[in-house]
Chains A and B, each alone.
Chain A
Amino acid sequence: MSNADRFAQRIVQIDGVNQFVLCRHDGHVITHNMEDCDDLASVATICGINAQAIQKAIGFSGFRCLTLKRQGHHHCHIFPIDKYFLGIIQNPETAATELVEDVQKFLQTLVRKKPAPA
């Protein structure tokens, strides 16, 4: 099983994650669980890059998450992970704040497991 498959297996276990796509900063899709992931991958990439640009322009630190709130409550959340962006469409019944916290906790475990540079 590849790392991408392992990631996909874990991320869908988080309560409230309906659809997801993991893509590189250049928009290249790494893994997803959607029939057509192109739209979400594009949104995650464009919005993620612009969110990081705001961070640089204003001088904020640590871009954590971008939420696109929708009237139908199928909110879209975009998270930065190293040189990737993770885009998630949530279940409308789930509380957005809890989902964001759960995903961030999961992503932090990945960052911690990264081997230190030699």
Chain B
Amino acid sequence: MQQALDDLKAIPGVVGAAIYQAQQGVLANNLPGLFKPEKLAGMGKLLNKIFSAGRLSFNDLAETSLCYEEATLITREISEGRYIMVICDPAANMNLLSMSLKMALEDLRQPRSAAPAQSAVTPPPTAGQVVDRQSPEVKPEELMAKGPLSTPMKGMLQQLANVIGPMAEILFQDALIEWSKTFQVSITNLPHLVDLVCRDIGDNQKAKQYRDLIQSQLKLAAGQG
């Protein structure tokens, strides 16, 4: 996610970009510090209103471009209620930006449907490991708060925060939800959770760093389980 935003920021004239989700607020951004989190959240909320109003009248709405004297704000929908917002100089090359934005969107949409990138490291789940789709949904907060998985998961989250910073909690929760829906919630399946987290980190170097940091913790957890 962060990599996609950084790629956009590399385009001349682009100030930075952010990903906004209607329910969760700003998920990631690489805008300068003067765009404070509460301001960004407010902006995302207003852009969401603009997009929703536009969609009501034009169901083929693809993008909004908001021009001010000193900046242009471009918004595209990644999936329902989730947007990517790019702030750039009005003189920026809009064709280049538009093409890069399309590529970024493809990247951002892909991870949700693609197979885990690290599947070669961990074998695919066997029939016994995969959870029945009808089974009750596991809440990430409950898994983190109590039970045998609580300690190793807290450790995993802590190490993730050391590697990627404040986005760790959101990324970990998303991966945890996906993991609990795909695999049986157990210590033996924790390596699959690590794979999902590494896939979502989206940076091979950081993913490797995380994998190295987490290794000893997983061995310890497996010994206890």
Chain A residues with CB under 8 Å of chain B are 39-40, 42-43, 46-47, 50-51, 53-55, 57-58, 60-72, 74, 76, 100
8 contacts between A and B (CB under 8 A): A42-B53, A43-B58, A46-B53, A50-B49, A57-B42, A57-B46, A66-B67, A68-B58
| B43 with A57: CB separation less than 8 A | yes
| A43 with B67: CB separation less than 8 A | no
Number of A-B contacts (CB under 8 A): 86
Q: Could you say which residues of chain B place their CB within 8 Å of the CB of A62?
A: 68-70
> Known contacts being A46-B49, A47-B50, A66-B50, is A54 close to B66, with CB within 8 Å?
yes
In this assembly, does B178 line the interface, its C-beta being within 8 Å of a C-beta of chain A?
no
| A71 with B62: CB separation less than 8 A | yes
> Known contacts being A57-B42, A70-B61, is A64 close to B50, with CB within 8 Å?
no
Binding site secondary structure of chain B: mixed
The 4 closest A-B pairs by CB, nearest first: A62-B69, A60-B68, A71-B60, A69-B63
Selected from A50, A55, A70, A100, the residue in CB contact (under 8 A) with B50 is A50
Size of the B side of the interface (Cβ < 8 Å), in residues, is 26
In this assembly, does B118 line the interface, its C-beta being within 8 Å of a C-beta of chain A?
no
Give the residue name and chain of the A residue nearest to B49 (CB): A50
Q: Could you say which residues of chain B place their CB within 8 Å of the CB of A51?
A: 46, 50, 66
Q: Indicate the member of A57, A61, A62 with the most B CB atoms within 10 Å.
A: A57
Selected from A55, A61, A64, A68, the residue in CB contact (under 8 A) with B64 is A68
Q: Could you say which residues of chain A place their CB within 8 Å of the CB of B66?
A: 51, 54, 63, 65-67
B53-78 to A contact mask, C-beta < 8 Å, 1/0: 11011101111111111110100000
B40-51 to A contact mask, C-beta < 8 Å, 1/0: 001100110110
